[in-house]
A and B are shown apart, each in its own frame.
Chain A
Amino acid sequence: MISESMVDLSRWQFAATSLYHFLFVPLTLGLSFLLAIMESTYVMTGKEIYKDMTQFWGKLFGINFALGVLTGLTMEFQFGMNWSYFSHYVGDIFGAPLAIEGLMAFFLEATFVGLFFFGWDKLGKGQHLLVTWLVALGTNLSALWILVANGWMQNPVGAEFNYETMRMELSSFGALLFNPAAQVKFVHTVAAGYTTASAFVLGISAYYMLKGRDAAFAQRSYTIAAGFGLAAILSVIVLGDESGYTDGEVQKAKLAAIEAEWHTEEAPASFTAIGIPDQELMETRYAVKIPWILGLIGTRSVDTPITGLTEILEKNRLRVRNGIHAYGALQLLRAGQKDESTLAEFERYKQDLGYGLLLKRYTEKVVDATDQQIELAAKSSLPRVVPLFWTFRVMVACGFIMLAIFIFAVIASSIRKCRQNWLLRASLYMIPLPWLACEMGWFVAEFGRQPWTIAEILPTFLSVSSLTELDLYLSLAGYIGLYTLFLIIEMFLMIKFIKLGPSSLHKGRYHFEIATGASL
């Protein structure tokens, strides 16, 4: 039997390496577009300062990009290394978007990023601009295919189980591609990336203004970041709301857990703004409720109820029992007993096979499961409420704080050239918020998917490789050691170049070069 600690270690490893990967991805996604905008302004106006902006922010882009590439490799390796049963079980569908990402997006991004840095003297203005836009296009297409893969884990459409190969197989590529869960996650995620990069440029430009350095450079950067950032954060919020709607459609348990919606209420459901959820008693103490809001987010109507966790649990108990039938029939089929009645039995229950597999955590003999084991399996089908409830609220709070600051930043940069110190300081201190929000967002999306790797099809517990705990401790130690080292080096370089500012370009017209008269 698979050991619990092996599963936990595999999960920790995946969570740690993917959250770490996503420290670098959002900045790449957004900054590539900001670079393209800055360079377009350069090409249109012919003003050198916009070229300097592209090159300076491009330098920071490069420092960040290296770690994005490095940590991205881990992701591709990890599915096979630590999650080999997952890779076998769904590789027929899940592998395709990953391969297409390589062919269609990563090649584009990686080939042109080289020309972005080394092609300034070798390409015409227009050609170089095209290169920059292609980098931005490549990074964003990358995100598209990764989120098509991820969206399928949340809402596995367009696939059928094949008992002869013992895996899921693709039945509709169109359904995979136009999966509503994937589409909505893609736009929400890239908009979060644009917000992150805007907050980064905004905050650092504010720092230069507070220090009274390179005013023209900083103000222009600030203005571009403010405008792009406001558009981005508005999109994130609107599309986040759209995600809530999609969750209401396809991931009822996740939505109910985020909202601590223990029981189905009379429509339209109210939204629990804050409170203290308790999973044991299935109630939320000190709940502050806003009438109607959840019903509107989750169903876009005033008369459709939001299903509560109690009702979902009720239904899942039945699905586990059906799953036992499915699993029993599958065992017969695998043993070669492919008669009419076994096939009919399997067909009848196969949509609940995943729920039967949940029992594997509690017993080897799924068909002989006791009532107690069935209850455990049904209980395990609900995500844990408390972590989701809080991380979701932190994410939303970060989003609204950023919205406020971006609004002020746009007003200030359009009227008074952003001279207010409080706003500049707020812009600077806002820098960590988008990262916090991104990490929380991924936590909500993936922890909320539990106990499944593929929603309602493959339990996380079964998805792991047949490794030992020692294997996983060793690999985890390696990742933590190397990743910590790389993060220290990256932050060191990042801060060094941020402090130097555009003087690091050695163009002879920025703060430190003029102040000291020597090149640095």
Chain B
Amino acid sequence: MIFDYETMRLIWWALLGALLIGFAITGGFDLGVAILLPFLGKNDTERRVIINTVGATWEGNQVWFVTAGGALFAAWPMAYSVAFSGFYFALLLTLFALFLRPVGFDYRSKLPSPIWRRNWDIALFVGGLVPALIFGVAFGNLLKGVPFHFDNEMRIFYTGSFWALLNPFSLAAGLVSLCMLIMHGAVFLQVKTVGDINQRCKTVVTLFTIITLVIFALAGFWVSAIDGYQISSAILPNAVSNPLAKTVTNAAGLWLANYGRCPVLWVIPALAFVTGITTVLLSKLDRPGLAFISSSLTLATIILTAGVSMFPFLIPSSSEMNSSLTVWDASSSLATLKIMFWVTLIFLPIVLSYTTWAFRVMRGKITLEYIHQNDHTTY
């Protein structure tokens, strides 16, 4: 039956992934562009060019993140509760950094004072850097396992600390996400600019694509050494969502077990490398539009690699493994999953179509002349 619990859970695992990838592709270049702002903009007008490449669309892009958060709450309420209360200070830092973006974009060019603008440039840089890094660190910690457990009434207890999140493996994952978003931001800037900035972008694309792929490859080898998790009791994909009903074991290299069972999955990480290299080539050949598609695929395949390695785990518990949250026992009820599925089926295409329209309206290069001519209306 197409609408049974198992199928719905799989669909919602995929939809959550799609929303995260949607955020990485759209909101991701905004973050990358903000990180590059102080380095690629040599004077105020150049910095305004950079800001205005994303000025009209960043707000809509960030909604991918908001919606992914909402979807996590609606479809995987236990994962939402565990992640948000467990990664408390990491999320607080992310939130505070994200605060800097709406005010940074909107207020920066409202006053001519160079000190005012300089400070907002720093704020935008921090607002890009911190989330880009922490998102990866969070993924790294999911792969490592998170120290949490439930009591009999399903109250969550997190027994780790903020500093424990900053372990070497997770920091490497953080660097992957940071570097890939810088790469993606640079590709987008190359699309939207001409002249000096455009040329500087190419160097950035090459450098950061290579760093991304190298660390991604290292993390791949590293994963075979860290503990992965697997469900050792019978898997009941249609049972009620009770994470305490199963048993879980861990062992080094288990995160690669899915690839052993289904070797075709190797295509996903392999594609990350192929599209990464294509991105560099296309950027060098001055085909930034195609390079953007290619770097979007790089992001998507890197995120998917993490997802399929962990499947069916959402948040494995390192302290009481049986409390781990998986696709089969951490979802909302079937009724909620179904309703949210229909809502998404109707609204996601609508969102995609008007977003595409908005990008088409705002298409074209941002030039120094454009900033001069629209001094009082642009960011």
Chain A positions within 8 Å of B, measured between CB atoms, are: 62-63, 65-67, 69-70, 73-74, 76-77, 79-82, 84-85, 87-89, 91-96, 98-104, 106-108, 110-115, 117-120, 122-123, 162, 164-167, 169-171, 173, 334-335, 465-467, 471, 474-475, 478, 482, 486, 489-490, 493, 496-497, 504-506
- Closest chain-A Cβ to B104's Cβ sits at a distance in Å of 9
B70–A66 CB distance below 8 A: no
Q: How far is the CA of A93 from the CA of B333 in the complex (A)?
A: 9
In order of increasing CB-CB distance, the 6 nearest A-B pairs are A91-B77, A80-B84, A95-B74, A102-B67, A111-B60, A99-B70
Cross-interface CB contact of B156 among A104, A466, A475, A482, cutoff 8 Å: A466
B242–A164 CB distance below 8 A: yes
Please, which residues of chain B bring their CB within 8 A of the CB of A475? 88, 92
* Chain B contact surface mostly: helix
A95–B354 CB distance below 8 A: no
Please, which residues of chain B bring their CB within 8 A of the CB of A171? 335
B154–A103 CB distance below 8 A: no
Flag the segment in B222-230, B255-263, B286-294, B344-352 that touches A.
B344-352
B377–A92 CB distance below 8 A: no
Please, which residues of chain A bring their CB within 8 A of the CB of B63? 102, 106-107, 110-111
Contact A103/B347 with A74-B95, A85-B155, A93-B336 known, Cβ cut-off 8 Å: yes
A80–B96 CB distance below 8 A: no
- Closest chain-A Cβ to B219's Cβ sits at a distance in Å of 27
Q: How far is the CA of A113 from the CA of B355 in the complex (A)?
A: 12
B54 to chain A: closest residue by CB: A114
Q: 1/0 per residue B104-117: CB within 8 Å of A?
A: 01110011000000
Please, which residues of chain B bring their CB within 8 A of the CB of A85? 81, 154-156
Please, which residues of chain B bring their CB within 8 A of the CB of A94? 73
- Closest chain-B Cβ to A273's Cβ sits at a distance in Å of 43
Q: How far is the CA of A159 from the CA of B232 in the complex (A)?
A: 34
User: Apart from A95-B80, A114-B55, what are 15 other A-B pairs with CB-CB below 8 Å?
Assistant: A81-B92, A92-B333, A102-B70, A104-B347, A111-B63, A114-B59, A114-B358, A119-B361, A169-B332, A466-B156, A467-B88, A475-B88, A478-B92, A482-B99, A493-B111
Cross-interface CB contact of A467 among B85, B99, B339, B347, cutoff 8 Å: B85
Q: How far is the CA of A89 from the CA of B155 in the complex (A)?
A: 9
Interface flag for B250 (CB, 8 Å): no
Q: How far is the CA of A81 from the CA of B158 in the complex (A)?
A: 12
B361–A123 CB distance below 8 A: yes
Interface flag for B378 (CB, 8 Å): yes
Interface flag for B369 (CB, 8 Å): no
B55–A506 CB distance below 8 A: no
Q: How far is the CA of A402 from the CA of B103 in the complex (A)?
A: 31
Q: How far is the CA of A146 from the CA of B107 in the complex (A)?
A: 27
Greatest chain A CB density within 10 A among B83, B89, B102 is at B102
A489–B107 CB distance below 8 A: yes
- Closest chain-A Cβ to B237's Cβ sits at a distance in Å of 16
Q: How far is the CA of A170 from the CA of B105 in the complex (A)?
A: 40
A117–B377 CB distance below 8 A: yes
Greatest chain A CB density within 10 A among B75, B106, B154 is at B106
Please, which residues of chain A bring their CB within 8 A of the CB of B71? 99, 102
A170–B344 CB distance below 8 A: no
- Closest chain-A Cβ to B75's Cβ sits at a distance in Å of 7
Please, which residues of chain A bring their CB within 8 A of the CB of B153? 166, 334
Q: How far is the CA of A112 from the CA of B84 in the complex (A)?
A: 30
Please, which residues of chain B bring their CB within 8 A of the CB of A486? 99, 103
Please, which residues of chain B bring their CB within 8 A of the CB of A169? 332-333, 335-336
Please, which residues of chain A bring their CB within 8 A of the CB of B99? 70, 73, 482, 486
A95–B332 CB distance below 8 A: yes
A99–B67 CB distance below 8 A: yes
Contact A87/B73 with A114-B60, A119-B56 known, Cβ cut-off 8 Å: yes
* Chain A contact surface mostly: helix
Q: How far is the CA of A122 from the CA of B60 in the complex (A)?
A: 18
Contact A70/B85 with A106-B66, A164-B242 known, Cβ cut-off 8 Å: no
A489–B103 CB distance below 8 A: yes
Please, which residues of chain A bring their CB within 8 A of the CB of B56? 114-115, 117-119
Within 8 A of A (CB), among B57-101: 57-60, 62-63, 66-67, 69-71, 73-75, 77-78, 80-85, 88-89, 91-92, 95-96, 98-99, 101
Please, which residues of chain B bring their CB within 8 A of the CB of A65? 102, 106
Contact A63/B241 with A107-B351, A115-B361, A467-B85 known, Cβ cut-off 8 Å: no
Contact A98/B60 with A112-B358, A493-B110 known, Cβ cut-off 8 Å: no
B70–A87 CB distance below 8 A: no
B96–A165 CB distance below 8 A: no
Please, which residues of chain B bring their CB within 8 A of the CB of A110? 59-60, 62-63
Please, which residues of chain A bring their CB within 8 A of the CB of B92? 81, 475, 478
A466–B77 CB distance below 8 A: no
Please, which residues of chain B bring their CB within 8 A of the CB of A115? 56, 358, 361-362
- Closest chain-B Cβ to A373's Cβ sits at a distance in Å of 19
Q: 1/0 per residue B291-317: CB within 8 Å of A?
A: 000000000000000000000000000
Contact A107/B67 with A93-B336, A165-B242, A493-B107 known, Cβ cut-off 8 Å: yes
- Closest chain-A Cβ to B368's Cβ sits at a distance in Å of 17
- Closest chain-A Cβ to B329's Cβ sits at a distance in Å of 9
Cross-interface CB contact of A73 among B78, B98, B155, B348, cutoff 8 Å: B98
Interface flag for B343 (CB, 8 Å): yes
B57–A114 CB distance below 8 A: yes
- Closest chain-B Cβ to A65's Cβ sits at a distance in Å of 8
B354–A96 CB distance below 8 A: no
Interface flag for B282 (CB, 8 Å): no
A91–B332 CB distance below 8 A: yes
B335–A170 CB distance below 8 A: yes
Interface flag for B152 (CB, 8 Å): yes
- Closest chain-B Cβ to A457's Cβ sits at a distance in Å of 14
B75–A95 CB distance below 8 A: yes
- Closest chain-B Cβ to A95's Cβ sits at a distance in Å of 3
